[in-house]
Amino acid sequence: MKTANSETIAEENIGLETASLRHKCGVFGVFGHKDAAILTALGLHALQHRGQEAAGIVSFDRTYPTDTKNEKSRDTAFTQLRKNMTTHSGKIHVEYDASDRPDTEEPVESFYIERHLGLVGDNFGKDGEAIKNLKGSAAIGHNRYSTSGGVALRNIQPIFADLKLGGFAVAHNGNLTNAETLWDSLMQKGAIFQSKMDTEVILQLTAHSKESNTIDRFLDAIKQIEGGYALVCLTNKKLIGARDPWGIRPLILGKIKNSDPEAQPAYVLASESCALEAVGAETVREIENGEVVVITRNGIKSHFPFPKTEPRPCAFEYLYFARPDSIMHGKSIYEVREEMGRQLALEHPVAADLVAPVPDGGNPAGLGYAEASKIPFKFGIIRNHYIGRTFIQPTQDARAGSVTRKHAANLHLVRGKSVILVDDSIVRGTTSKAIVAMMRNAGAKEVHFRVASPPIKHPDFYGVDMPTEAELLASRMSIEEMTQWLGVDSLGFLSIEGFYKALGEDAYDPENPKFADHCFTNNYPTVLTDKRNAENKIHQQNIFGRDR
């Protein structure tokens, strides 16, 4: 059996300076469905809010020549296959050499790869070339917003390589905190890297493992990595899902009926439940923290390679990243955010004419605040639906510009009124500063700002790509200073206790935090090996181009 796959990826840095605060990536995988690539594209589309820089899909197909005893039909099957495989798409060129012509009764196996800069819809439209190229009943996909490595074609995921035991594709949401340290030792062993992504370390470690089968090699690899990760991987026989020991990054398992009623249901892995809904899949369960699931034609097998710990999912997923209609750990993201707003109203009440959410992130908390304070909820800010999330803009100028293009004061509503603005977070203050100015220009009598999370004072290293402390507004300024800088009449942040309450916890226990809440508390769930080694000048810094 041959794997005919040669990729020519022209590296092309598109010249974007990368943002220091970014979304997380979205991952998706399907096993055992004839429309695997279409489902993956739909799943990625539902996860677009997690990354808008690039999107990629890798599929796997096994083609049986229609009648291998009949030379003519075998040739026809091969000609068809060859035609499909030589289709160009963007910078990816899959070639099939004439010497690969099948001359046995063995099926022809191939991985197909489509990786593009830009949005899912623009690159994987249902009838587009890219989808047609992605044959097979298994596929994985990825929406990228980089936390390592710049914006370039070679840094698009899934990342694929032919390893000793066959083709292996990986898609990763998260960030490794010891990738640079591992890179150093891999390079000393002669590794050749195709990208600048921390994710590739996982592929390299799998390739270098001395274990005898693919799963043991992969387990060997992930036992060496540290940080936050939700991974989906594809081989010629398996779809693999893995979640980091703390479950910082989310991953959920679903199941979907095949159109053939005789066929087994197909399995689906996704970052969020909203992507399962988007493809009509039913939720089976969340992948546990530290769990590795291996999906094959024979069903699902779980591995637990790490000592069992209590999960500590990322607080930011609940606050901002996840889509409000997603369910995580049995909690509705929407309801959690609404409750954050209610708690906020209890902690920071103020008399006003209306509560105006900062769309979209502030909408559910705004509703909760209005409900608890009994102050009317009004859309005092209107958003332009053709502009995405602000964080994804690559430069501070672009971010500031996009806030004013994205939001507009609803003049008629706010003129002469006292307004309570509610947002989910203040990070750099780009959004809040511009929105407050908008309210003032619109003639608001009073402007009060309420934030449905505690002040963000500490960086993130697990896939949020939060800026350095120096860029975080709450790290640089006291509440009084922020009040002045923003130009508001009052400012209030939800307390960490209120935050935990909204998440359904009785109390916040700093000795035993239930969430990865380090951005508020400075309490990091993992060791930060690269940071420590860089500080001690043990290895080269910024191998993966963090400050590119």
Ligand X SMILES: NC(=O)CC[C@H](N)C(=O)O
Amino acid at 222: I
* Of residues 217 and 448, the one with the C-beta less far from Mg ion: 448
Asked whether position 341 contacts Mg ion by CB under 5 A, the answer is no
Residues acting as catalytic residues: 25
Near Mg ion by CB under 5 A, which window of 268-276, 282-290, 360-368, 464-472?
360-368
* Of residues 35 and 200, the one with the C-beta less far from ligand X: 200
* Of residues 52 and 402, the one with the C-beta less far from ligand X: 52
Q: Which residue stretches of 223-351 are H helix?
A: 273-278, 315-316, 333-347
Tokens of 112: 């197909």
Nearest residue to ligand X, scored by beta-carbon proximity:
25
Asked whether position 148 contacts ligand X by CB under 6 A, the answer is yes
Helix axes 199-208, 179-188, angle to 10 degrees: 40
160-219 positions binding ligand X, by CB under 6 A: 172-175, 197-199
Task: Indicate which of ligand X, ligand PRP, Mg ion, none lies near residue 320 (CB less than 5 to 8 Å, by partner kind).
Answer: ligand PRP
Direct distance between the N- and C-terminal alpha carbons of the chain, in angstroms, rounded to an integer: 42
Task: Indicate which of Mg ion, ligand PRP, ligand X, none lies near residue 199 (CB less than 5 to 8 Å, by partner kind).
Answer: ligand X
Nearest distance from C-beta of residue 174 to ligand X, angstroms: 5
Nearest distance from C-beta of residue 372 to ligand X, angstroms: 34
Q: Which of 59, 63, 146, 326 binds ligand X (CB under 6 A)?
A: 146
| Total binding residues toward ligand X, as defined by CB under 6 A | 17
Tokens 């890179």 belong to residue:
183
| Total binding residues toward Mg ion, as defined by CB under 5 A | 1
Nearest distance from C-beta of residue 391 to ligand X, angstroms: 11
**How far is 202 from 158, CA to CA, in rounded Å?**
12
Signed CA dihedral, 168, 169, 174, 177: sign only: positive
Q: Which of 43, 65, 149, 150 binds ligand X (CB under 6 A)?
A: 149
The enclosing H or E element of 78 equals helix 71-85
Give the DSSP letter string of 390-428: GGG-SSHHHHHHHHHHHEEE-HHHHTT-EEEEEES--SS
Nearest distance from C-beta of residue 175 to ligand X, angstroms: 5
Q: Which residue stretches of 10-128 are H helix?
A: 36-46, 71-85, 120-123
Contact 206, 160 (CB under 8 A): no
Signed CA dihedral, 141, 144, 147, 151: sign only: positive
Nearest distance from C-beta of residue 352 to Mg ion, angstroms: 20
- Backbone phi, then psi, for 155, in 5-degree steps? -105, 30
* Of residues 144 and 348, the one with the C-beta less far from ligand X: 144
Tokens 């960086």 belong to residue:
459
| Pairing outcome for strands 292-296 and 239-243 | antiparallel
Nearest residue to ligand PRP, scored by beta-carbon proximity:
361
Interacting residues toward ligand PRP by CB under 6 A: 320, 358, 360-361, 389-391, 423-432
Cis peptide before 360 (omega within 30 of 0): yes
- The C-alpha angle with vertex 112 and arms to 107 and 114, in degrees rounded to 5, equals 170
Asked whether position 361 contacts Mg ion by CB under 5 A, the answer is yes
* Of residues 136 and 362, the one with the C-beta less far from ligand PRP: 362
**How far is 356 from 225, CA to CA, in rounded Å?**
44
Q: Which of 5, 147, 209, 289 binds ligand X (CB under 6 A)?
A: 147
Asked whether position 137 contacts ligand X by CB under 6 A, the answer is no
* Of residues 463 and 498, the one with the C-beta less far from ligand X: 463
Nearest distance from C-beta of residue 337 to ligand X, angstroms: 21
Signed CA dihedral, 361, 367, 368, 372: sign only: positive
Nearest distance from C-beta of residue 449 to Mg ion, angstroms: 13
* Of residues 172 and 243, the one with the C-beta less far from ligand X: 172
Task: Indicate which of Mg ion, ligand X, ligand PRP, none lies near residue 130 (CB less than 5 to 8 Å, by partner kind).
Answer: none
433-472 positions binding ligand X, by CB under 6 A: 463
**How far is 516 from 197, CA to CA, in rounded Å?**
23
Binding-site ranges for ligand X (CB under 6 A): 24-25, 144-149, 157, 172-175, 197-199, 463
